[in-house]
Amino acid sequence: MPRHIWEKIGLPLCCNHPMTMTSANMSKDTTVGILENLKLDFRARPVMLQVQVIEHANFNMLLSHPFICLMSIEKCMVTNDYPNGGQWITLHDLNDGHEYTLPTCLWCKGCLCCKCGKHCHSHQSIVKWGF
């Protein structure tokens, strides 16, 4: 989560254990701190997450490996993919045993070129296939 989002939330940040995070593009960022037990509501019950805060990011919150492990270690995480590019994901919360089925969002919808239907060099292969 980028710092500006954390500042809007206004919850205390634990800064005792900074981490260096490596992104998919191999860039490295040192965390500002961690939001402990941040409640996210998945329309059924809240899920408590540990969220790393970094200075700058091109996303509001990135749910990755720790989230996937928390939500699916005992049961398989299930995705339902549809021909129109839609996808629903079913998650299992190990903390309370609840199951959540949620729609996902296309990440390229945040791209100004993709929103306007213009040619986008970054997402052309994804947009071409409808994803």
| 77: helix, strand or coil | coil
Which pLDDT does position 4 carry in this prediction? 92
Distance of alpha carbon 35 from its chain centroid, rounded?
A: 15
- Global pTM? 0.59
Residue 16 burial (C-beta neighbours within 10 Å; 0-12, 13-18, 19+): exposed
Strand extents, DSSP E, 2-131: 20-22, 28-30, 33-41, 46-53, 78-81, 87-92, 99-103
Q: What is the pLDDT of residue 80?
A: 80
Average of per-residue pLDDT across 119-126 = 51
User: What's the distance, Cα to Cα, between the start and end of the chain in Å?
Assistant: 24
pLDDT tens-digit map of 69-114: 766 654 556 778 888 777 887 877 776 777 778 777 665 555 666 6
What is the pLDDT, as a whole number, of residue 106?
A: 62
Averaged pLDDT, 18-22: 84
